[in-house]
C-alpha cells in the first residue's frame, strides 16, 4: 500500500479530538508526527484515508481503537531519575518535614508514562522513609497500554543509566535467560506502587489525597485554560502543606492558584 498523506482538514479533526478528550494541544508542527503514527493504524486496518480512521475513533464504533489512537498521540518519553535535583530535594528537604503519623505517606506520579518516575520515587521513599514504613506511590497515565507495561516493571538495560548504583543493587534485578538484557524492579518495591489509568483532563474520582505530587513534563502539552484546570484539579488532591513538583521546562506563571512557590518548579499548598 502506498503512503497515505493526511490533509490539513483531517489533521485539524484529530487536533480538535485530542484537545476535547485529553486536553492535549497538538501544535501545527506535529502534523507529520500524527501522519506517521496514525498511518501505521491505517495500514493495519486496510483503510484508505485518515478521514475513515477519524470516523472510527470519534464515533464510538471501536473503543479499543480509540485508546490506541490516544496512546499513539500522547508522548511517553521518560527515564529513571529524570531531573535528578527534584529527587534530591524530595529526599533532603521534603521528606524530613512530612508527618510520620498513623496515615500513610502518599506520593502521586501524575503522568507516570511507562513507570520510571514512579519507581524512582518508590526507591527514594524506601531508602529515606524505610522499606517497611507506612507509605505508597500512586502512579497514573492516560494510556491503558502504557500503564500495563509499567506494572510489569521490566526495562531495557539501556534505559537505567539514571539509577544510582546503590539503588540499582538494592531495588533492581538483572534479567537472565530469555530476559537477558533487561532489568526488573524488585517485586517488594513494585508492590508499593499502584498504577491506574487517569485522564487529568477529567474529574479526579477516587484518587485520594497526597503529601507530594509529581506533575512533571505534561503541562507543556496543554493550552493555558486547560493547564489551569488541571493544576487546580490536582492541587485539590494535596493535603494541607503538601508539595507539587512540575517539570523544569514548565511554569505556573499567570495561574492564580492556592500554592506558594518554594523554589523554581516546586510549590506548596497552604
In angstroms, what CA-CA distances link 243 with 8, 107, 124, 139, 214? Answer: 42, 9, 16, 16, 8
Active site residue 62: no
Grid coordinates representing 53 are 480512521
**Average pLDDT score, the chain:** 91
pLDDT in tens, 237-251: 999 999 999 999 898
Architecture of the domain whose range is 8-73? Orthogonal Bundle (1.10)
pLDDT in tens, 198-219: 999 999 989 999 999 999 999 9
Over 138-182, what HEC string results? EEEECCHHHHHHHHHCEEEHHHCCCCCHHHHHHHEEECCHHHCCE
pLDDT in tens, 31-86: 998 999 999 999 999 999 999 999 999 977 788 898 889 888 886 678 999 999 99
Is 70 exceeded by the pLDDT of residue 2?
no
Is 60 exceeded by the pLDDT of residue 4?
yes
Confidence at residue 214, expressed as pLDDT on a 0 to 100 scale: 98
Confidence at residue 145, expressed as pLDDT on a 0 to 100 scale: 87
Planar angle of CA 80, 154, 183, nearest 5 degrees: 75
Is 80 exceeded by the pLDDT of residue 100?
no
Q: Are strands 154-156 and 105-109 parallel, antiparallel or unpaired?
A: unpaired
Choose the catalytic residue: 19, 37, 229, 268.
Answer: 37
Share of the chain above pLDDT 70, in %: 97
Is 90 exceeded by the pLDDT of residue 253?
no
Domain ranges for the chain, please list them: 8-73, 84-269
Is 70 exceeded by the pLDDT of residue 256?
yes
pLDDT in tens, 103-148: 899 999 999 999 999 999 999 999 999 999 999 999 999 988 899 9
The pTM is what? 0.86
Mean pLDDT over 185-207 rounds to: 95
Planar angle of CA 244, 71, 59, nearest 5 degrees: 115
CATH of domain 84-269: 3.40.50.150
Choose the catalytic residue: 82, 106, 141, 192.
Answer: 141
Is 70 exceeded by the pLDDT of residue 186?
yes
Active site residue 269: no
CA 35 to chain centroid: 24
Q: How far apart are CA 114 and CA 80, in angstroms?
A: 10
Confidence at residue 102, expressed as pLDDT on a 0 to 100 scale: 74
Amino acid at each position: 500500500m502506498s503512503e497515505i498523506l493526511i490533509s490539513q482538514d483531517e489533521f485539524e479533526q484529530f487536533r480538535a479530538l485530542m484537545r476535547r478528550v485529553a486536553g492535549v494541544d497538538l501544535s501545527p508542527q506535529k502534523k507529520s508526527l500524527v501522519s506517521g503514527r496514525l498511518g501505521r493504524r491505517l495500514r493495519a486496518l486496510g483503510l484508505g484515508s485518515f478521514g475513515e480512521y477519524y470516523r472510527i475513533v470519534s464515533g464510538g464504533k471501536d473503543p479499543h481503537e480509540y485508546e490506541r489512537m490516544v496512546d499513539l498521540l500522547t508522548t511517553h518519553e521518560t527515564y529513571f531519575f529524570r531531573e535528578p535535583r527534584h529527587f534530591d530535594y524530595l529526599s533532603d528537604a521534603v521528606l524530613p518535614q512530612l508527618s510520620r503519623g498513623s496515615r500513610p505517606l502518599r506520593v502521586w506520579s501524575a503522568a507516570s508514562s511507562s513507570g520510571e518516575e514512579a519507581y524512582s520515587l518508590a526507591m527514594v521513599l524506601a531508602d529515606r522513609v524505610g522499606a517497611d514504613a507506612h507509605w505508597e506511590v500512586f502512579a497514573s497515565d492516560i494510556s491503558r497500554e502504557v500503564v500495563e507495561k509499567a506494572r510489569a516493571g521490566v526495562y531495557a538495560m539501556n534505559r537505567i543509566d539514571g539509577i544510582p548504583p546503590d539503588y540499582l543493587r538494592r531495588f533492581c534485578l538483572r534479567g537472565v535467560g530469555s530476559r537477558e538484557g533487561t532489568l526488573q524492579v524488585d517485586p517488594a518495591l513494585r508492590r508499593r506502587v499502584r498504577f491506574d489509568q487517569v485522564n487529568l483532563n477529567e474529574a479526579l474520582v477516587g484518587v485520594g489525597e497526597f503529601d507530594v505530587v509529581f506533575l512533571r513534563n505534561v503541562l507543556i502539552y496543554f493550552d493555558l485554560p486547560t493547564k489551569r484546570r488541571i493544576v487546580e484539579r490536582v492541587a485539590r488532591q494535596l493535603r494541607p502543606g503538601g508539595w507539587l513538583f512540575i517539570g523544569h521546562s514548565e511554569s505556573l506563571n499567570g495561574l492564580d492558584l492556592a500554592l506558594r512557590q518554594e523554589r523554581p518548579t516546586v510549590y506548596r499548598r497552604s
